[in-house]
């Protein structure tokens, strides 16, 4: 057993992942556009590619975690993957080379998030550690939204910042690998109950996973065009967009602990139902009475803190003996939603107009509660049916 539980390990890993991710997908296209590049399809691919890699490879790394049991070695691979993405983008001669760096690095970078979450599940009071790890992730998003702008103001170009970030991430990979003999010394998870493993457990996870996917997609289809909708269609000020973007992340970081207390009190499945109903009510209100301030409020309420925490806990509890696979599936659902959100919104807005944007997340949010309700019904009936 290790001398310490290394409670800092997961928050640091998720902070590094979120920081690198937000810089790559948000600031790189913006920097290219401001330098005179107008290859908008390439910008869209820069945004989508890390999530596509997460969708494909996070489940694979999750399964490997369950088989290998050494979280630090897998995390070292994940850090190295992000270093490839960051350094490759920093020194890439064009968009094509950036996409290659994101694709190659993304294969390995997809290991970092499942490794961090898997680590929390091996600690005593894992739910509290998971909450702190997700706070670290939110902190990475917040820092990634602020630091590049500050660095540019001080005269440090974005690609120079990416080079420094890549070196720092590579150092974390080396340190994680050097410490793998200590971080890997966790007890084996409890033996699985043969009556609740295999196809039965996998079937029971599909409905909640689909419900969570729909909630992720609800947020993404609105987020991808929120700034354009707020400032162009509704006529809102740019400062309000920036304020809501930073504000929802900052408040969401603080809300992870209240979300944990709520999940412990009513159960993560019920929290997921609450978040799905919140999305339904809020987008219905915005569709019926669109306004600048209502759009800002709908975007600013950080339901994602409750969604991400409750979903992580629900899948961890559903597969206590396969935590890596569960976290990999969770990351894959997020990756799929992030990959689809922008293209779906773009096609929808092109077809029916920007003013109808709230109708799209409303339509998705109408569907989101049903897989969760059906999963609860099946779970309640399982003891009687012997499933």
C-alpha angle 361-130-310 in degrees, rounded to nearest 5: 35
**How far apart, in whole angstroms, are the C-alpha atoms of residue 200 and residue 203?**
5
Domain boundary among 188, 207, 227: 188
Claim to verify: residue 260 and residue 274 sit in the same structural domain: yes
> What element of type H or E holds 145?
helix 126-153
Answer yes or no: do 24 and 146 share one domain. yes
pLDDT in tens, the chain (387 residues): 344 567 788 899 999 999 999 899 888 887 887 788 777 678 778 888 898 999 899 989 988 888 877 888 899 999 999 999 999 999 998 889 999 999 999 999 999 999 888 888 777 777 788 888 888 988 998 888 888 878 888 888 889 999 999 999 999 999 988 877 666 544 444 444 433 433 333 556 778 888 889 999 998 889 878 888 888 889 888 788 878 878 888 888 888 889 989 999 999 889 999 999 999 999 999 999 999 999 999 988 889 899 988 988 887 776 666 767 778 888 888 888 888 888 888 888 888 888 999 999 999 999 999 988 888 887 777 654 444
Query: Do 236 and 159 sit in the same domain of this protein?
Result: no
Q: Residue 55: how many CB atoms within 10 A of its CB?
A: 22
Within this chain, do residues 234 and 368 fall inside the same structural domain, yes or no? Answer: yes
What pLDDT, on a 0 to 100 scale, did the predictor assign at position 131?
87
Task: Annotate 289-345 with DSSP letters as a single string.
Answer: S--HHHHHHHHHS-HHHHHHHHHHHHHHHH-TT-HHHHHHHHHHHHHHHHHHHHHHH
Rounded distance, CA 362 to CA 287, Å?
Answer: 8
Looking at the fold, whether 177 and 230 belong to one and the same domain comes out as no
Q: Do 138 and 199 belong together in one domain? A: no
Q: Which residue among 134, 163, 188 closes a domain?
A: 188
What is the tally of structural domains in the chain? 2
What's the pLDDT at 318? 67
Note the pLDDT of residue 13: 93
Q: Cβ of 178: how many Cβ atoms within 10 Å?
A: 11
CA-to-CA distance for 125 and 236, rounded, in angstroms?
Answer: 44
**Per-residue pLDDT, 323:** 66
User: Are 198 and 158 in the same domain?
Assistant: no
Claim to verify: residue 170 and residue 204 sit in the same structural domain = no
Q: Examine the domain organization and report whether 294 and 357 are in the same domain.
A: yes
CB 79 within 8 A of CB 170: yes
183 and 251 within one domain? no
**Which of 321, 200, 219, 310 minimizes the C-alpha distance to 265?**
310
Domain finish residue from 169, 188, 207: 188
Q: Are residues 221 and 155 part of one domain?
A: no
Residue 155 and residue 284 in one domain: no
* Domain of 359, in residue numbers: 194-387
pTM for the model stands at 0.77
Please report, for the domain that includes residue 109, its CATH number.
1.20.1250.20
């Amino acid at each position: 057993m290790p001398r310490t539980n290394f409670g800092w390990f997961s928050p640091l890993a998720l902070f590094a992942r979120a920081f690198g991710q937000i810089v790559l997908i948000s600031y790189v296209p913006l920097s290219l556009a401001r330098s005179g590049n107008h290859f908008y399809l390439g910008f869209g691919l820069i945004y989508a590619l890390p999530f596509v890699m997460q969708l494909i490879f996070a489940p694979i790394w999750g399964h490997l975690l369950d088989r290998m049991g050494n979280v630090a070695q897998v995390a070292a691979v994940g850090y190295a993957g992000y270093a490839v993405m960051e350094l490759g983008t920093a020194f890439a001669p064009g968009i094509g080379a950036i996409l290659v760096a994101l694709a190659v690095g993304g294969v390995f970078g997809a290991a970092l998030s499942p490794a961090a979450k898997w680590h929390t599940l091996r600690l005593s009071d894992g739910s509290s550690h998971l909450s702190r790890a997700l706070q670290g992730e939110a902190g990475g998003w917040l820092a990634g939204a602020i630091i590049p702008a500050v660095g540019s103001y001080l005269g440090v170009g974005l690609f120079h910042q990416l080079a420094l970030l890549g070196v720092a991430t590579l150092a974390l990979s080396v340190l994680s690998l050097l410490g793998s003999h200590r971080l890997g010394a966790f007890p084996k998870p409890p033996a699985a109950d043969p009556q609740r493993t295999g196809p039965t457990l996998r079937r029971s996870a599909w409905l909640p996973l689909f419900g969570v996917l729909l909630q992720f997609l609800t947020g993404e289809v609105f987020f991808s065009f929120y700034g354009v909708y707020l400032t162009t269609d509704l006529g809102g000020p740019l400062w309000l967009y920036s304020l809501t973007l930073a504000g929802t992340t900052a408040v969401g970081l603080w809300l992870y602990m209240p979300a944990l207390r709520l999940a412990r009190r009513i159960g993560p499945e019920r929290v997921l139902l609450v978040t799905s109903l919140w999305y339904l009510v809020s987008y219905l209100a915005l569709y019926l009475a669109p306004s600048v301030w209502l759009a800002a409020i709908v975007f600013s309420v950080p339901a994602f803190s409750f969604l991400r925490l409750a979903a992580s806990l629900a899948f961890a509890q559903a597969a206590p003996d396969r935590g890596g696979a569960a976290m990999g599936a969770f990351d894959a659902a997020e990756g799929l939603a992030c990959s689809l959100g922008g293209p779906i919104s773009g096609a929808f807005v092109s077809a029916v107009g920007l003013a109808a944007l709230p109708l799209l997340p409303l339509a998705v949010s109408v569907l989101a509660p049903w897989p969760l309700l059906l999963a609860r019904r099946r779970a309640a009936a399982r003891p009687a049916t012997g499933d």
